[in-house]
Amino acid sequence: MHGKIARIELLPGEFERAIGIRQKVVDVLESFGFSYVTLDLKGYRSGSMDEVL
């Protein structure tokens, strides 16, 4: 979470599935109040929330 941004980190092998359910993910996250939904193309990295954007 970055304010109104939901940043999604996935393992690279999960990207294709996420794209297949993209609208459902967007709808759910927007219902929680997020204005933007992003997919981090670097994928999941332990400790990435400590990185500077």
Buried b (16+ CB within 10 A) or exposed e, 17-48: eeeeeeeebeeebeeeebeebebeeeeeeeee
pLDDT for the residue 52: 56
Question: Is the whole model's pTM more than 0.85, yes or no?
Answer: no
Distance CA 41, CA 5 (A): 15
Q: What angle do CA 38, 23, 52 make, to 5 degrees?
A: 10
- As given in the structure block, the two tokens for residue 2 are 């970055």
**What's residue 46's pLDDT?**
72
Which tens digits make up the pLDDT trace of 11-22? 989 999 999 999
